[in-house]
Structure 1
Amino acid sequence: MVIWAAELRRAVRSGRALVLLGLYSMFSALVLLVVGFVTRELQGQVNEKLMEAGADSEATARAADEMQQGVLGFLTSNDTAMMQALSQVPIVVLIVFKITLFFLPAYIALMGFDQVSGEVGPRSIRYLTVRARRSSVLLGKFLSQATLLLGLVLVIDLAIFVYARILNPDFAFGVLATNLLKFWGATIVFSLAYVALTTLCSSLFRSPAVSLVFNFILLFVFWLMDSVGRAVADTSPVRFVRYLSPSYYSGNLLHPQLAEFAGSGGAYAAFAAIFLVGAYGVLRARDL
């Protein structure tokens, strides 16, 4: 607990939190603006064609609803329960969530690639291990990065939902607050496994630069395993490699049914535990 608090204070005072918040907010704002512009343009073109065809306001509204349901079905893999649960959330929020979730592991790697290797290299970590167990040092560093990340993500998610509320006056405050917590909770579950992966990569090498490169390599390998496993036929044994990738389990993080959400949450908890145990094994065997 002491190490967690000290590491968190150091991260905040170093200015890294401000830089990371700026980086993440700029990326999210860019995605939000682009997605919002494309969505409005498509909707405008559809409405214009309907008006030229002599359609009334009811037909226009029905066409807009059908287009929204089509996009929602694509984003949720046509899961009826998820489509119904997310039907009141603006499409722009869902699209931005999906895109930012895809790039979030890279952001996490940039955020904490030196959390352990930054002190193992110059051997300053030995001053910590004299006063605390190595497991406590590792867990404190992991929790400090996770806490900082979740705070930054909450700020960005809040800004996205407020922006969506401004563009969609019918987006009720109660629905906004409930879904904000749901989306933030999904991000928490998703992020912890990748924070643990970053901790593992940072423990493997003395050089922070090498840790960062190796982390990106693993992220690419996981993405490739998921993509190949989904692309091959269901009869191919290669399809099972997707189950070894954390990104495969992100689809049900917003699922309204507890069993479906628990399956994804349990998978991410298992990945986080495996990565942290590996990091502890490396740190315990390393000559500090």
Structure 2
Amino acid sequence: MDGLKETLVIWSAELRRAVRSGRAVVLLGLYSMFSALVLLVVGWLAREVRAAVNQKLAEAGGADADTSARFAEEMRKGVLGFLTSNDTAMMEALAQVPIEVLLVFKVTLFFLPAYVALMGFDQISGEVGPRSMRYLTVRARRSSVLLGKFLSQAALLVGLVLIIDLAIFIYARIANPDFGFAALSLNLLKFWMAAIVFSLSYVALTTLCSSLFRSPAVSLVFNFILLFVFWLMDTVGRASSAVDAASGQQEGALRFLRYLSPSYYAGDLLHPSFTEFGVSGAAYAGFATIFLLGAYGALRARDL
């Protein structure tokens, strides 16, 4: 059996086991509850802001409906500009998307790497620890086992993200009657693809962490440590660049740290330009490749 067939067999077996297990249901419930909580909080804040604005306008002399509508549109453009870093092309492309969807998408992207870590922290270490991995590697290459498990986790994540994104967009359609079916379908596909491109590199990172240790608990802790390090690199790099640009001085050396963090490239995943999206997609593909190569090196050198 060649490598491709071995990978497909392991992928299908692992995916069936993951779907039939209770973990898939728990993960779906966890992701659903978190997304629903964020959506409800964002919706409540939006309603409170609109109510406060309408009250201020009424106290100022009873503005007409057109004035209120224009003020609301200006507020929407301000929030949209903040979420897109005032990128004109992105603002035009996302003009029809409800703000609630954009805010939930931004918040969930921040927590999605942790969710991915919880989903697959034991994909390799769960079998290396009890030494059941040796029965797989007798019948298949280690690279096939690694790729099969990675693809099964990726496929499960693709399905879970699609279910949650579909629910969010349906809610947005109900809450915003002017959000048409054509715009809903197009943006659902766009947001789903952006989340998948973003998360696959973190699935590869989880595979790497799971390959480095025999204990699933240690793999999970190390995974969270790496996520924090990447977040810190992105935050410090952005802050260094922003402070130096504001002072008019030459940018500091720490600004380069942001380029080493996967989260830095998330900003252009919804960009309408293929070039901008392609750069971000290529960056995530590069991170995923590096993590998988590291995982293969660790698994190949390990005594199973």
Q: State the TM-score bracket (shorter-chain normalisation).
A: over 0.9
- Counterpart for residue 230 of structure 2: 222
The DSSP-based 3-state class of the residue aligned with 2:81 is helix
Match of 2:185 among 172, 177, 182: 177
Counterpart amino acid of 1:79? D
Quote the Cα distance in structure 2 between the aligned partners of 1:228 and 1:4: 38
The DSSP-based 3-state class of the residue aligned with 2:96 is coil
Quote the Cα distance in structure 2 between the aligned partners of 1:60 and 1:178: 29
- Counterpart for residue 5 of structure 1: 12
5+ long unaligned stretches in structure 1: none
Counterpart amino acid of 2:253? P
- Counterpart for residue 247 of structure 1: 263
Computed over aligned residues only, the root mean square deviation of the Cα atoms, in angstroms, reads 0.6
Structure 1: which 4+ aligned runs deviate by more than 2 Å? none
Q: How does 1:1-288 map to 2 (within 5 A)?
A: 1-53=8-60, 54-232=62-240, 233-234=244-245, 235-288=251-304
Quote the Cα distance in structure 2 between the aligned partners of 1:67 and 1:131: 61
Deviation at 1:49, TM superposition (A): 1.3
The DSSP-based 3-state class of the residue aligned with 2:155 is helix
Measured against aligned partners, the alpha-carbon deviations of 1:175-205 in whole angstroms (never above 9, x if no partner) come to 0000000000000100100000000000000
The DSSP-based 3-state class of the residue aligned with 2:86 is coil
The DSSP-based 3-state class of the residue aligned with 2:289 is helix
Quote the Cα distance in structure 2 between the aligned partners of 1:195 and 1:273: 11
Q: How many residues align?
A: 288
Quote the Cα distance in structure 1 between the aligned partners of 2:164 and 2:157: 11
Deviation at 1:167, TM superposition (A): 0.5
Measured against aligned partners, the alpha-carbon deviations of 1:57-114 in whole angstroms (never above 9, x if no partner) come to 1100000000000000000000000000001000000000000000000000000000
Measured against aligned partners, the alpha-carbon deviations of 1:251-288 in whole angstroms (never above 9, x if no partner) come to 00000000000000000000000000000000011110
Quote the Cα distance in structure 2 between the aligned partners of 1:174 and 1:12: 31
TM-score, normalised with respect to structure 2: 0.94
